[in-house]
Structure 1
Amino acid sequence: MGWAENLKELGLELPPAPKPVAVYVPGVRSGNYVYTSGQLPFVNGELPLTGKLGAEISIEQGAEMAKLAALNALSVVHDLAGLDNVVRIVKVVGFVASAAGFNSQPLVINGASELLGAVLGDAGVHARSAVGVNELPLNTPVEVELIAEVR
């Protein structure tokens, strides 16, 4: 199955690429690579949840937010190169707004990694960093950026 069928099987649709919330572009294609800006878990222009992991947000909720942020990143890649042209997701960086003492950032960013694998198969397997931070824009719990190799 292709990415579109995989999304449908997951009960998801590729949303329109999110609009920037400041002075930048959602992504840049340079040669055979697409670099996305950090994507937030917007749904129809709204953040479903705000707050920090280990305080207001559970690991499961955070993983769902990471999944939505990764879906938005895929939308950017699709706009710039087409998901049919993705050779592989090379790198994912996930930022997790973390309350003091919270150290399960990898479990949160697994939401993004699992989505990429489910949608793109082997091409979605990637290197990754999961970073805990004090604050993120708009009080979002997660932000995800990625690098995709494309044809």
Structure 2
Amino acid sequence: MSYQKNAEAQGIVFEKQTPGYLNLCIKSGNQLLTSGHVSDLKGKLGDGTTVDAGYQAARNCVEKILKSVWNTHGTLDGLRVIKVLGCVNSTQDFTDQHLVINGASDLLHVIFGKDGDGYHARSALGFAQLPTGAAVEVEAIFEIVA
């Protein structure tokens, strides 16, 4: 099964996006670099927002990223995930950012394969605040391999 079909099997619907103020995904050479995509979930991890909710929020960010990548590249096929940066809106004493961002990595592993093109480098960081009060923001870099 293709990566595109894997994503569709996860319920991700791909539709043309209207360009906005910033480019959500830009091609540079053989790479696709995405802007940060924020979760629909608002809140702060460690202050009423659970790790499970944050995990789903990180997954939500990757769904948005994949839609932006599709709008730029036309397909998810022929891509390799290189790097993921996960930002978690969290309290100063919250230390499970990595568990939250697993929501992003796990979805990429399902779509691109954990041992293949979905095996990526990653950072999971805590932030005092994110734009619009979002619980999570994620950005990614993909390599065009085919």
Normalised by the length of structure 2, the TM-score is 0.89
CA–CA distance in structure 1, aligned partners of residues 102 and 66 of structure 2: 16
CA–CA distance in structure 2, aligned partners of residues 145 and 103 of structure 1: 20
| Structure 1 runs, 4 residues or longer, greater than 6 Å off | 17-21
Q: CA deviation at 1:18?
A: 6.4
CA–CA distance in structure 1, aligned partners of residues 83 and 9 of structure 2: 25
1:3 alignment partner in structure 2 = 3
Superposed CA RMSD in Å reads: 1.8
1:101 alignment partner in structure 2 = 93
Contact residue 52 and residue 141 of structure 1 kept, 8 A? yes
From 37, 49, 55, the counterpart of 1:39: 37
1:126 alignment partner in structure 2 = 120
Which runs of 5 or more structure 2 residues have no equivalent in the other structure?
none
Contact residue 14 and residue 71 of structure 1 kept, 8 A? no
From 24, 36, 46, the counterpart of 1:26: 24
Letter in 1 for 2:5: E
1:85 alignment partner in structure 2 = 78
CA–CA distance in structure 2, aligned partners of residues 20 and 129 of structure 1: 28
Which runs of 5 or more structure 1 residues have no equivalent in the other structure?
42-46
Letter in 1 for 2:76: L
2:102 alignment partner in structure 1 = 110
The 3-state SS of whatever aligns with 1:94 is strand
Q: CA deviation at 1:5?
A: 3.3
Q: CA deviation at 1:100?
A: 2.3
**Are 2:13 and 1:14 aligned?**
yes
CA–CA distance in structure 2, aligned partners of residues 19 and 146 of structure 1: 20
Q: CA deviation at 1:75?
A: 1.2
CA–CA distance in structure 2, aligned partners of residues 28 and 98 of structure 1: 29
Letter in 1 for 2:126: G
Instruction: Give the total of aligned pairs.
Output: 142
